[in-house]
Amino acid sequence: MEKSEIAVISTELLLDTAERIMESEETSLFSDEIPVRLVEMLKGILLSHCEIDLGLSDLKSLVRDEALASFASTYAQGESAASIAATFALNATLQPELIARRLLVHIRFHPEYPFADITKALDLMESRVQSNGMYQLEDTATLQKDQVEIVIIATGIEVEEL
């Protein structure tokens, strides 16, 4: 299993990367400032033909008026892998008392993975965002049947109102 990544990047750099992805599929051109997994995730989302397709204008809308974006890529395997990966990703990007104004979430799982756990993971993430959560689900036979990968970009992080 691959390791998890966490990074905080400027939204200007995030959008610059997205624009470069739309111009060229060559990911080796990117600097070390952007985690490779983030580039791969953005490439997959921006250039995909999945049911949920996020374009560059949607990404710009997601990060508008935000200075920074927090990125986490997490992996889990076994029973409740999606819920575990979602919890790790949320804890990596948001401290417990914080919520995000916007989330971009990409979940990869095997086609035979229990969708009930994917739904539970989505509910966990939805509880930590004010609005504008964008979710992309990708089932892929390249993962093991009990393995889940979740990538989150969180923007507009602030203290949760009680």
pTM: 0.74
Apex 149 CA angle, 145 and 154, nearest 5: 155
pLDDT, tens digit (0-9, with 9 covering 90-100), for 31-41: 566 777 777 77
Q: What are phi and psi of 5, to 5 degrees?
A: -130, 145
Distance from first CA to last CA of the chain, Å, rounded?
38
Q: How far apart are CA 44 and CA 38, in angstroms?
A: 10
Q: What is the pLDDT of residue 79?
A: 92
Q: How far apart are CA 96 and CA 31, in angstroms?
A: 32
Per CATH, the architecture of 5-159 is what? 2-Layer Sandwich (3.30)
- pLDDT in tens for each of the 162 residues of the chain? 455 666 777 777 778 878 887 777 565 555 566 777 777 777 766 766 554 556 677 777 767 767 677 788 888 999 999 999 998 888 877 776 677 778 888 898 999 999 999 999 999 888 888 776 778 888 889 999 999 998 888 887 664 443
Domain boundaries, the chain: 5-159
Q: What is the pLDDT of residue 20?
A: 80
Q: How far apart are CA 14 and CA 34, in angstroms?
A: 8
